[in-house]
A and B are shown apart, each in its own frame.
Chain A
Amino acid sequence: MFRLIKTLNRIALIKATVAALLVIVVVFAGSRNLQNYDAALIGYLFGTVFAVFGIAYRYSVWLQRPPTRLYWRRSWEFLLSKDFVPYATRSLKLFFRNILFQRFIYPRGKTRWIGHFLLATGCLIAFAVTIPLTFGWIHFTLDPDSDTTYIANFFGFPVSTFQLGSPMAFAAFHALVWCSVLVTIGAVMMMKRRMTNGGLIATQTFDGDWLPLILLIAISVTGLGISYDYTFLQGRTHQFMAVIHAITVILFLIWMPFGKFFHIFQRLAQLGANIYKVEGSRRGMAKCPHTQQEFASQTHINDLKDVTKDLGFDFTLEDGRSHLDFSPEGKRSALAKAHFQARKEGGHFFG
């Protein structure tokens, strides 16, 4: 955001191009040179390739910022150390807890967590279903020996079979319907918050906060439309439903690198921040010269001194110490004391 990212970034461009090409490669590999590819999904594929390009570009630019780079570097350094096993286990646990279940939202508000969890779960399952389909990794074929048995193929290899009309089949073919329901409920809950909570009303923006929810609902509703058409209208409006759904999804994909949805990818950094904190406190804590209390890891303080210097700040004091050696309370007290002193020298504590 600040400095450094004003111009087009060559490294990011290269990385993004590589990522986009890689997607195309895996599509070819997964669909056996497109022979298993469902041509109806090609629009989605283009959208996805664009999204991957955009996300990779933004991610790469993001990683170039000094604080992010530092966290990135430190996270891998600490993870790939002799303590790989405990840190990997910890990260895995946190991945489930905080990424898949977003438990950290719970203390921010119970309904907020429920809403977000429904919405996120719907999205994640939908991604898990649609990405392999869009990439042509999964396709279904009829068992030549039985016209009621379906075979699911992954990368062209048969992995499971199920009977047409079985509960399993019903669940699988309607997976996206369930996702749509979850997303819609979640998004409505989040919208309700945004309409009644005074704090949110004051600070929200249309493109930052409402558009994502509207898009999610649009995708869900149009997706349900396809299912509705198929189930109750014998496919009479299929063309219309399919096109309008594709438009919403492709809009979503194209917008993903730019808008709020990018946080899905940023959120992973939370795992790194956690390892950083644990390893940092193991290496020793910094003690505030004012409060005489430990307040952060010494590693963190030292790293911050470097990072702030990279960013053009210099909190070094005349005696060689740094303002950053003080805890937040120590900093506030230092200011208060300096103010008291200045008032005293001015002849009155009060003025």
Chain B
Amino acid sequence: MRELVIISGKGGTGKTSLAAAFASLAVNSVLCDADVDAADLHLLMQPEVRQRHDFMGGRLAWINPDLCTGCDTCRTLCRFDAISERLVVDPVRCEGCGVCVHFCPAGAIEFPVQRCGEWYISDTRFGTMVHARLGIAEENSGKLVSLIRKEARQLAEERGHDLILTDGPPGIGCPVIAAIGGATALIIIAEPTVSGVHDMERVLDLAVHFNIPGMVCINKFDLNPEMTEAIENIAKKRNVTVLGKIPFDPVFTHAMVAGKTLLEYGDETPTHTVVREIWNKIITSPSMHSFGIVDLKATIQ
């Protein structure tokens, strides 16, 4: 089983548009949208939901005013300033640690498990898709990402698919760490801007930290040729293959507005061709041909 995870560090570099384009080219794959707190892949995939499950995340404290004696123990012990002077729990601040619950002398604090979101198994025109929606302002995004990746893997195994294509979240924190652990390879979408270069270096560092091979795809390369060159130099130094350079092209936005992937939209342009070539390079790369065994020679330096 091979899993390709698409990340970028910086948001808005084209992860989802490219993940969708790759999905239209991939044969025998399962799609997984691991950007659970601002998921967008479904807007291009129009999934038909076949299974819907609750995601039960952490717990939240609730002080029962009928039992509370006002002793203030909870407020003194809470390290998250989540309990007000009137002894009411602020659900936004409550971390769900249970300290107040355990030490309340009156046993007045309830601690129910929260429904933090939903996850789905759906059919799309490109095969099965596993996706999710984290509730607004919820924690545990990493836990939900791990859960849907596990489900995608299980489904792929059951149904005889040999590839999972995962659209990852931006950043380098909790959900990204949950999205890349154990991946066969990462596709990093970089843009040639000072922010793009800075953020790409941070995700490369993260990939080094977890020993994962990766390849870079430069999007909107013609926006700044010097920055594009900087990305190519960094990639060379760090043992990262540059898969190709995609021009800045409004066709991505037009396809998005039409609810289509790039390759389903409009006549073949050089942009379409370069995206096809990039996909061919990905699937024929040594990292993707080792039966899902991590290609240590290709790990990022």
Partners in one complex: no
